[in-house]
């Protein structure tokens, strides 16, 4: 089973052909998708996509949007996460590349998501960019307060953060960037990720893999990412598919495995 663990199918880029995109994904063998919430205020649109039987969703606020509600509470996230189609908390985290929200606000909102993940038992979907030191500090501090499961999605950060997050039991997802010609540093980290905790994603409509780079990304492009993962790890394609499927259901365990 091919599973796209991170899609943004509610995004405006899909407004003209969303259903056709889903049909193409299914035709390409992508049997499950997780539609990722970009901000709590947009949850209704995110959830609407998850009416499709093969699509689930998360609830959360991306660090770019943290300024929208600097006092976002764990209780608000926990309430929305009671929806049976919600299978994770996030996307949340730190992004110090664009700094579209103040860094202290990003950190405060991120910790609210951690608390919600801890309370609900749902996995935390984490975005991190150019914030390795601050990210691992928060993760280790919060983990010491009580365990929670986490996924570092579309991982492109450093080897030290990856190793220390792995020691906390983190999962990692591999996206189209791993196929880029100049992304050998990303591939080097992928080689050392825990084999039983790697999944795949497209992050569509962003980061289309080779040979589609520069085009709108779609879930139907996921096989190209899986092929690259298999090459990086020295796995057969069938082994890569089985390993990522097993890892996905171990993490997103609210989704029934059929």
Would you list the domain boundaries of the chain?
2-251
Fold of 2-251: TIM Barrel (3.20.20)
Q: What is the mean pLDDT of each run of 10 residues along the chain (258 residues)?
A: 97 98 98 98 98 98 98 98 98 98 98 98 98 98 98 98 98 98 98 98 98 97 98 98 98 95
How many Å apart are CA 26 and CA 4, to the nearest integer?
Answer: 11
Those residues whose C-beta lies under 8 Å from the C-beta of residue 15, and which sit 6 or more positions away, are none
How many Å apart are CA 54 and CA 196, to the nearest integer?
Answer: 24
pLDDT of residue 183: 98
CB 180 within 8 A of CB 213: yes
Q: What is the DSSP letter of 16?
A: T
| Confidence (pTM) | 0.98
CA angle 108, 109, 112 (to 5 degrees): 95
Cα dihedral 135→182→248→257 (10° resolution): 150
CB 102 within 8 A of CB 94: no
pLDDT of residue 258: 81
How many Å apart are CA 62 and CA 206, to the nearest integer?
Answer: 15
pLDDT of residue 213: 96
Beta-strand relationship, 198-200 and 2-7: unpaired
Backbone angles phi, psi at 97, to 5 degrees: -80, -50
pLDDT of residue 6: 98
CB 194 within 8 A of CB 175: no
How many Å apart are CA 238 and CA 184, to the nearest integer?
Answer: 24
């Amino acid at each position: 089973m091919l599973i796209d663990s991170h899609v943004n199918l509610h995004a405006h880029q899909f407004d003209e052909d969303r259903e056709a995109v889903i049909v193409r994904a299914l035709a390409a063998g992508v049997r499950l998708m997780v539609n990722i919430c970009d901000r709590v205020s947009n949850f209704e649109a995110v959830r609407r996509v998850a009416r499709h039987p093969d699509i689930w969703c998360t609830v959360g606020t991306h660090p770019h949007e943290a300024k929208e509600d600097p006092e976002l509470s764990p209780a608000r996230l926990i309430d929305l996460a009671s929806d049976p189609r919600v299978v994770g908390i996030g996307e949340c985290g730190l992004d110090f590349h664009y700094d579209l929200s103040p860094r202290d606000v990003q950190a405060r909102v991120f910790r609210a998501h951690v608390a919600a993940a801890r309370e609900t038992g749902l996995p935390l979907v984490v975005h991190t960019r150019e914030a390795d030191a601050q990210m691992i500090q928060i993760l280790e501090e919060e983990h010491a307060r009580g365990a929670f499961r986490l996924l570092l999605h579309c991982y492109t950060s450093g080897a030290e953060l990856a190793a220390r997050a792995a020691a906390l039991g983190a999962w990692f997802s591999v996206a189209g960037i791993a196929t880029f010609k100049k992304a050998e540093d990303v591939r080097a980290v992928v080689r050392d990720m825990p084999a039983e905790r790697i999944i795949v994603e497209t992050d569509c409509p962003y980061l289309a893999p080779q040979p589609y780079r520069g085009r709108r990304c779609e879930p139907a492009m996921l096989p190209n990412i899986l092929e690259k993962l298999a090459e990086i790890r020295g796995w057969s394609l069938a082994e890569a598919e089985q390993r990522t499927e097993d890892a996905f259901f171990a993490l997103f365990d609210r989704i029934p495995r059929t």
